[in-house]
Amino acid sequence: MSSAVAQQWFKNSQLVGDKLLVTSAVFFPLIGLCIFFCYPLFLVAGKSLQLADGTYGIANYINVLKSPGIVKAVCNSMVLSVSTTAFCLFFGFAVAFALQRSGIGGKRYLKGALSLPLLAPSLVQALGLLFLLGRNGLVHKWTGWDIEIYGFWGLLIANILYGLPQAILIIEAALRQSDARYYEAAEILGASKWKQFFDITLPNAKFGILSAGFVVFTVTITDFGNAAVIGGNYKVLATEIYSQVVGQMNFGMGAVIGILLLLPTLIAVYIERVASQKQFGGSSESAIPVSTNFYAKRDVPLGVFVHTIASIAVLVVMTVIMASFIKLWPYRMTFTLANYNITLSGGYTPLWTSLLVSVEAAVLGVVFLFALAFSMKRIPPKLAKLVYLLAVLPVGVPGLVLGISYVLAFNVSDNMLGMLYGSSFLIALCNFYHYHSQGFLTMITGVRAVPPALEETVSCFGGGNVRILRDAVLPFMGPTIISVFFFIFMRSMVTLSAVIFLISSKVSVAAVSVMRLDEAGFTSQAAAFSTCIMITVILAMGLMNSLIYLYSISGAGKEASSDQQGIEKRGLARMVDRTYCWSST
Amino acid sequence: MKLSIENLYKTFSGFVALDRISMEVGENEFVCLLGPSGCGKTTLLRIIAGLLDFDGGVMRLGGNDLVEIAARDRGFGLVFQSYSLFPNMTVKENVGYGLKVQKVDKKEISERVATLLELIKLPDLADRYPHQLSGGQQQRVAIARALAVEPTLLLLDEPLSALDARVRAEMRFEIREMQQRLGIPTIMVTHDQEEALTMADKIICMKDGRIEQIGTPRELYAEPATRFVADFVGVSNILPTAWIRKNLPQMMDSRPGGKEGDFEFAVRPEQLVVDDQKGGAEIKDMQYLGNLSRVTLDWYGEDVVVEMQGYPKFTEASSIHVTVADGCGRWVKV
Amino acid sequence: MRAFNMQNVKILATGIFMGLAFCSQVQAGEITVYSALEEDEIADYLAVAKKSLPDIEINVLRLSTGDLGARVIAESANPQADVIWGFAVTNMADKKILSQLEPYKAVNSESLPAQYRAEDDSWFAATGYMGALCVNTAVLESKKLPMPKSWSDLTNPVYKGEVVMPNPASSGTGYLQVAAIIQGAGEEAGWKLIDEMDDNMAQYTSSGSKPCKMARAGEYAIGASLSFVAMKSVEMGYPVSMVIPSDWAGYELEASGLLAGSKNKEDAKKFLDWTLSQEAAELYTKYKAIITIPGSKPSEMATAAGLPENLSEVLYPVDFAKSAKERPEILKKWSATTTK
């Protein structure tokens, strides 16, 4: 009697536990979003309505829309963003495909090379391009060509290099899910490899491609760093904000442009949502992963293409690293280590602060984003739509605007939020929310890899959400979670535009040091410090990778090799087939 | 066209998956590859389809050596265990896919697809997506897709294993009927002997990568060559030589020569006759199945199962007499 | 869920920690200074200041002029700084910043000529910097271009595509150059000059020091920037000459002031007094182009540039308040004139 009661109680408490899990999985990240994104943004919107004389009205909006350069800036921004997106999707898909599905060599090198633009401060990228392709750059010196790198083309290249790794991140998450059986079916029906690619691979990756396109579009349209260094006279919206806010201390106008930049983001979200409606076929639990065999006809050209792109990225960064060892580029090309003796603005201390901040941001980010992605399927659809919208909005806000919004929101003396101001933790939060969208989109693309039947199986065996999480979801999500972690970590180490407003006389970060060194005229030292940042990041990531590897070979590894995953999947598949819960009707 | 396979051999890193497989599939023939999990039947099917290479032997279709023809050029049809319908295409698009690949005229594709949908009795589902269909419906669409390209050979990989019992029974009939009507040579892989018995013209029974026996359903049932076939196809009572020598010595005459353990005696439950004379067998268990009764007996120390019509007259724990019906029972190789 | 509880604990702990840290910040003897002076000068000045003011802990946050202004305005609801030190006057005079200052008559400030301090004493300027052309002699040589001496020289078509200048909309340096030309040459002649220069202008950069950096790297022949960057470049060994335009030498004063929201006004005032002291004036000679403190030696930079001892002879008396007020119109006219 009592055992029946106990069982019932256990079932009930598990139900309650389940509900609690889902609720908190949605609640805490949402609260975070509201406090650390929506509220500051709301204050900025308020500023945009605040006129020069202190009253409120929409005069700022009217002024902006009437100002002569704005139409050109809008057109320029759109053209640049659309072209960058097109290139990034094409290149990014090629690389992601090469990494996930082909048998080309040097995959580890490729992954590393193409992450370089992510872990280098934006100064490095721009500087590298200038050193290489500038009017007095290496290419000009060696070939005598007169390349006009300033302006649209230079900006395009810089933005492609910056957006490409982010696109690859998301598309890879989509391509990771593969089912060899569709390809076999098509093969038997007579489809050539190209046809299989267009009919199976592309449609299955549609969701990832669209998300990647969305991300590249918005990071390009909000980018200011590249535009400032290499944009020349090609005016874009983001530089307009900078002019207004920093050049003329005109917050109202700057805020207007910042809010206006949300428009293309919203439109992009809408397009992406509508287009991904028709995406069916998530993974099946008995999916057999596609083997990465080497097909010469496909893999040789693909390999050449992909490695070329990677070498451009590497070349740009290597040039700057080299320059850090040069006494006076480009006039006195003698080797020296003097540039590494950095004593200005706190020396190397900000580097350690950056490390701490970045780890905080990455850990917090992965936990919150995974919670959100996991719970998206378990909450009512209307709420899910709202959560999705809020979660992808941050990418539409330029870093500059985000930074100011944080000052407005947290520089208050009379409440608990104010205690965060001036702390490194706030910088961590800001960095996380700055890249919230990219992390979120990668996570939900990866979550689609979890076969629904597997979750059902665990449920049938009486497992609550915690078990589902542990036994069904996490094993499939391992690589995605890790890639999001590293992404947030890398970006947090080098992002600049938001954190300028959050550093204090006592707390500063590495990216700011680079900026300061460069502004003070010590460009070579800035290059040296950037190199130190990159090395620190690579070392930190190497350390984390080995920790993960050690964990995976010791226990129930989350990061199973693909063979092991295949076996696991097939074993589970047989179990599922025989479970009476499994019904295909 | 006839498919002929001689001495096919396949290993996976030292593990022998298929050992000296020789078989034929004639025109209009429905052949079942029957065997337990892991016997190699699916591997063999995939090799025939061209999805897997093999290490030795010859495979010919109508005289052409298939080694030189890639999977996509063989013109076979394959229905997967999990159907593998393309999730982003409608039923219509799925079925017409093979024809689209062959660049058949659009109008012709529509007509053919419509005909096929009629054939599988799902004309109204043309615009649905696979995830909106039931298992049985997906199964039929998968078959239609395979048939659309008018294959020279139809391959079915455990097509009914994921369906529930009632639908399975229906589909068995329908697949068989379709095959006979279209006259396409077909190979079906299954582990369900009842399926094989009801659908096949010829059964190839496999175990551990080897062929145990090839024959019609009747041959396999009535004249099993090995102990495995006797036990796998239908139910058999297997009695060791020593026991036969002692209790049914008259059967020893038909025993082929050889060592003690080389052969055993197999007799079907319905081939055992029971009467209530005294002697020899003790009833252990009785199961009443309506038209049949199944009685488990202890017969001179061996457990045997007897099947009889109707309801037995005796009660449990009584001692009864068992004989083997005339001309029944065979010696099978171990 | 366990993980989330951990997060909460963490936030709480950080909050408590920050709260404690915050408390300790508001102790006497500590001031926060926001400055737009250069990094290395700040380091030098502070070293000396610390010896003269041993009881005060001086925390400096250095930001570029534009960033600094934006920061101060953003923090206006709850100012974090006590003192603004060495900040472009044109920006200081902006209402949004001016309104946050508290007038303070620093020791010695009456001795400053009137144009170097606010009427109501809300700010004073001890130093200043000048606009200057960074000319890359190597490029001049290889392209056989003559050495420019003035803004008017830059309208010479031989320099087409070899000149860069900061964008006055986003850079204070750019603005001071434009303002100097307009105020000095007068409206009509000034805009004509800018228009003609525009034909030769390769691009307008968003940061003030960029033109000089581009010029010294050999990207362009001439970059209009600041004297400081030019001198630095020469010092570092680049093939650069610093040229102060013989017509309309633009300049900017670096103002300092006390923030009304300061929590430690006593020490802040002591610091401000120090920045006007003779001791400080000696330090300034090493770095600054313009030193307003009477009786101080002329700066090394000014001497190197061949400027006379009494700078007020050469420096056009720029009306900075007017500059600040007219900024929006000037910028509008500028974008209309330079249709790039």
Q: What are the Cα distances from residue C175, in Å, to B165, C290, C320, C329, C335?
A: 85, 18, 11, 12, 12
pTM of the model: 0.80
Least CB–CB distance from A246: residue in C66, C75, C232: C66
- Chain A residues within 8 A of B129 when measuring between CB atoms: 280
Looking at residue C302, its pLDDT comes to 67
The whole-number pLDDT of residue A87 equals 96
Which stretch of A305-309, A408-412, A459-463, A527-531 has the lowest confidence by average pLDDT? Answer: A459-463
- The total of other beta-carbon atoms located within 10 Å of residue B93's CB is 19
**Nearest 5°: phi and psi at A261?**
-65, -15
Does B contact C via 3+ CB–CB distances below 8 Å?
no
- Structure confidence at residue A566 (pLDDT): 45
Rounded to a whole number of angstroms, the CA Rg of chain A reads 25
Q: Tell me: the pLDDT tens digits for A8-24?
A: 776 777 677 777 777 88
When pLDDT is cut at 50, 70 and 90, the band that residue A585 belongs to is: very low
pLDDT of residue C1: 45
* Whether C217 and A330 lie within 8 Å, measured CB to CB: yes
- To test the contact with chain A by mutation, choose from B43, B83, B101, B137 the residue with the greatest count of A C-beta atoms within 10 A, namely B101
Q: Half-sphere exposure (CA, 13 Å, Cβ side) for B59?
A: 23
Q: Read off the pLDDT band of A427 (50, 70, 90).
A: very high
Separation of alpha carbons A294 and A281, rounded Å: 27
Residue A188 to residue B77, Cβ atoms within 8 A: yes
Q: Given a cut of 60, is residue C218 above it in pLDDT? A: yes
* pLDDT score, position A242: 79
For chain C, list the contacting chains (3+ Cβ pairs, <8 Å).
A
What are the boundaries of each domain within chain A?
Answer: 26-578
Q: Cβ of A520 and C70 within 8 Å?
A: no
Q: In this complex, do A520 and C38 lie within 8 Å of one another by their Cβ atoms?
A: yes
- Summarised one tens digit per residue, pLDDT across range A544-563 is 788 777 767 765 444 344 44
* CATH numbers and ranges of domains, chain B: 3-225 (3.40.50.300), 235-333 (2.40.50.140)
Q: H helices within A329-398, ranges in order?
A: 349-375, 381-392
pLDDT in tens, A172-198: 888 887 788 889 899 889 888 889 889
The reply to whether residue C75 touches residue A407, judged by beta carbons under 8 angstroms, is yes
Is it the case that residue B107 has pLDDT exceeding 90? yes
Give the residues across from B138 on adjacent strands: none
Test B135 with A584 for CB contact under 8 angstroms: yes
Question: Is the model's pLDDT at A56 over the cut of 70?
Answer: yes
CA distance C124 to B110: 87
Q: Which of A278, A291, A578, A584 has the most B C-beta neighbours within 10 Å, making it the best mutation to test the interface with B?
A: A584
The domains located in chain C, with CATH, are 2-128+252-307 (3.40.190.10), 129-251+320-337 (3.40.190.10)
pLDDT digits (tens, 9 = 90+) for C251-274: 888 999 999 988 888 999 999 999
Band of residue C23 on the pLDDT scale cut at 50, 70, 90: very low
pLDDT of residue C231: 84
Is residue A346 left, alpha or beta, with left meaning phi > 0 and alpha meaning psi from -120 to 50? left
Evaluate if residue A84 carries a pLDDT over 90.
Answer: yes
Contacts of A500 in chain C (CB under 8 A): 63, 67, 71
- Mean pLDDT, to the nearest integer, of A492-503? 87
Arithmetic mean of pLDDT, C134-142: 91
Predicted confidence band of residue C137 (pLDDT cuts 50, 70, 90): very high
Comparing B264-278, C15-29, C299-313, the range with the smallest average pLDDT is C15-29
How do residues A152-171 score in pLDDT, each as one tens digit? 988 999 999 989 998 998 89
* Mean pLDDT, chain C, whole residue set: 83
Cβ within 8 Å, pair B88-A203: yes
pLDDT at residue C2 tops 50: no
For the cut 90, the answer to whether the pLDDT of residue A408 exceeds it is: no
Confidence of residue B204 (pLDDT cuts 50, 70, 90): very high
Contact A404 C74 (CB under 8 A): yes
- pLDDT score of C20: 47
* Candidate from A129-138, B88-97, C154-163 with smallest mean pLDDT: A129-138
Hey, what's the torsion of the CAs at C180, C183, C189, C190, to 10 degrees?
A: 40
Q: Which of A247, A371, A423 sits opposite C169 (nearest CB)?
A: A247
Kindly state the percentage of chain A with pLDDT values over 70: 89
Confidence of residue A227 (pLDDT cuts 50, 70, 90): confident
Domain A26-578 fold is MetI-like fold (1.10.3720)
Q: Which of A507-521, C24-38, C203-217 has the lowest mean pLDDT?
A: C24-38
Q: How far is A124 from chain C (nearest CA, A)?
A: 15
Average pLDDT, integer, range C308-335: 75
Chain B CB contacts of A195 under 8 Å are: 101
Question: Is residue A199's pLDDT more than 70?
Answer: yes
Q: How far is A562 from chain C (nearest CA, A)?
A: 29
Average pLDDT over residues A117-141: 83
What's the average model confidence in pLDDT over C318-335? 81
Least confident of A551-565, C86-100, C197-211: A551-565
The DSSP line for B244-313 is HHHH-GGGGGG--SS-TTTEEEEE-GGGEEEESSSSSEEEEEEEE-SSEEEEEEEETTEEEEEEEES--S
Sign (positive or negative) of CA dihedral A429, A431, A432, A437? positive
Mean pLDDT for the stretch of residues A367-392? 87
Greatest Cα pair distance in chain C:
74
The residue ranking higher by pLDDT, B138 or A332, is: B138
Q: What is the pLDDT of chain A when averaged over all its residues?
A: 82
Question: Of the candidates B80, B87, B161, which has its C-beta nearest A280's C-beta?
Answer: B87
In this prediction, residues A454-480 reach a mean pLDDT of 73
Which residues of B are less than 8 Å from A192 in CB distance? 72, 101
Q: Which chains touch B (3 or more CB pairs under 8 A)?
A: A
Higher pLDDT, C225 or C249: C225
Q: Are C160 and C199 in contact (CB under 8 A)?
A: yes
DSSP string over B207-248? ETTEEEEEE-HHHHHHS--BHHHHHHSS--EEE-HHHHHHH-
Using the predicted structure, report yes or no on whether residue A495 has a pLDDT greater than 70.
yes
What integer pLDDT is reported at residue A581 of this predicted model? 28
Q: Does pLDDT of A374 surpass 90?
A: no
Is the model's pLDDT at B57 over the cut of 60? Answer: yes
Task: Tell which of A141, A505, A522 to mutate to test the C interface (max C CBs under 10 Å).
Answer: A505
What percent of chain B has pLDDT above 90? 35
Residues A278-287 have pLDDT tens digits of: 666 555 656 7
Q: Select the residue of A190, A203, A585 nearest B149 (Cβ to Cβ).
A: A190
Residue A278's SS3 state is helix
CB-CB under 8 Å, A251 with C80: no
**Per the CB < 8 Å rule, is A185 touching B80?**
yes
A326–chain C Cβ distance below 8 A for any pair: no
Higher per-residue confidence, A178 vs A388: A388
- Taking an 8 Å cut-off on Cβ atoms, the answer to whether B88 and A195 are in contact is no
Quickly tell me which residue has 């101080």 as its tokens: C296
Q: Of the candidates A332, A420, A506, which has its C-beta nearest C59's C-beta? A: A506
